[in-house]
Amino acid sequence: MFDFGIWTSWFNNLLTGCMPGWAATLIECVVIGVLVLATYALLALFYILYERKLCAWFQCRLGPMRVGKWGLLQVFADMFKILIKELISLKGTDKFLFKLAPYLVITSSVVMLACLPWGNGLQIINYNIGIFFVLAVSSVGVLGILLAGWSSNNKYTLIGAMRSGAQMVSYELSLGLAIITIVLFAGTMNINELVWQQSNGWFIFKGHIPAIIAFIIYVIAATAETNRGPFDLPEAEHELTAGYHTEYSGIHFGFFYLAEYLNLFIVSGIASLMFLGGWMPLHIPGWDGFNAVMNWIPSIVWFLAKAFFVSYVIIWFKWTFPRVRIDQMLAFEWKYLMPFSLANLVLMAIFVALGWHF
């Protein structure tokens, strides 16, 4: 399998060979920052069109078709429209916190995006406690949402922010327990090490029953964590107008909009890394010819295909199930999902201790 580390090492050696170390590091940081932001924008635009087309397919429609071939340029038209919209300043708002909130949300998702290994040797941030770092950074986005709702000085935004805070804090527990279940099985929190351990089989297969249960719990909790239907109570249009970002316009609203879709990709990417092997191809022990063919597919293609598949499932949820009430949503987490997650964690510990796994 091709190692993208060859390219990054070549670029680093090229810079360090013709300039001081501090200058090379500065240039590398600028290049990486530009690439991350460009990837962020392109992924968000892709996901907007992706969901629109899937929604149309589920409802026997065509979706956007007028701007560009098959409507492919519709998202770019929407992006330019948001960029030229006026930023409205409202009376009675806490102006500093009102402007700070969308940047907290967008910063959280950008940092999480940088932690994901996209391919063999293609990762920006690699910590030995990478999973813990990702979970810690994800909690910053909740602060941005709470600040947005409170600083807007609007009862609808405040209700939406409180709903979102209660929902995200609650479902973070089940999501974290599902991840800890796989960390317990693998014995490491290093994301790269988790992927390499799946070279001879993905964890969803090797981890037996507890891994399958953890995957199902993770997908449900991730759907709620990203405020997507049927758990989209913070943005319930028939109750709260647009929820916590009702008073935002222009690029500030665009930040919330982009972050929502990027968070969908991030939770899908983490699911692919934790359960489906990440960028690791499908390998079956003893099938050397099949494994050799799978290795020819670039690792970045494997990662994106798995992430898009999980995203498809989450989008499928939204356009299949009706929106639940806030009390039903919280009762489902505290009465059923979290106790079940704890029981599954204990079950995985028993399986690991007794060696009852593949």
Is 57 within a domain? no
CB count within 10 Å of CB 340 equals: 15
Is 2 within a domain? no
CA 134 to chain centre: 10
Q: Is residue 118 within 8 Å of residue 3, measured between CB atoms? A: no
Is 328 within a domain? yes
Residues of the chain with pLDDT under 70: 1, 234-242, 357-358
pLDDT of residue 261: 87
CA 295 to chain centre: 26
pLDDT digits (tens, 9 = 90+) for 218-270: 999 999 888 887 887 766 666 666 677 788 888 888 888 888 888 899 999 99
Quote the CA–CA distance of 287 and 277 in Å, as a whole number.
18
Is 183 within a domain? yes
Is 348 within a domain? yes
The residue type found at 315 is I
Is 154 within a domain? yes
Quote the CA–CA distance of 189 and 1 in Å, as a whole number.
24
Q: What pTM was computed for the model?
A: 0.89
**What DSSP string describes 267-287?**
HHHHHHHHHS-TT-----TT-
Q: Is residue 308 within 8 Å of residue 44, measured between CB atoms? A: no
CA 273 to chain centre: 11
Is 46 within a domain? no
pLDDT of residue 234: 66
Quote the CA–CA distance of 313 and 174 in Å, as a whole number.
18
Q: Where in the sequence is the domain holding 227, given as residue range(s)?
A: 89-354
Is 236 within a domain? yes
pLDDT digits (tens, 9 = 90+) for 42-67: 898 899 899 899 989 888 888 888 88
Quote the CA–CA distance of 324 and 311 in Å, as a whole number.
20
CB count within 10 Å of CB 67 equals: 14
Q: Mention every residue, 6+ apart, whose C-beta is less than 8 A from residue 229.
A: 223, 317, 318, 319, 321, 323
Q: Helix 250-275 and helix 299-318: axis angle, to 10°?
A: 110
Instruction: Estimate the share of the chain in helix, then strand, then coil, as percent rounded to the nearest 5.
Output: 70, 0, 25
Number of domains within the chain: 1
pLDDT of residue 238: 60
**What DSSP string describes 304-338?**
HHHHHHHHHHHHHHHTTSPPPPHHHHHHIIIIIIH
Q: Mention every residue, 6+ apart, whose C-beta is less than 8 A from residue 119.
A: 4, 279, 298, 299, 300, 303
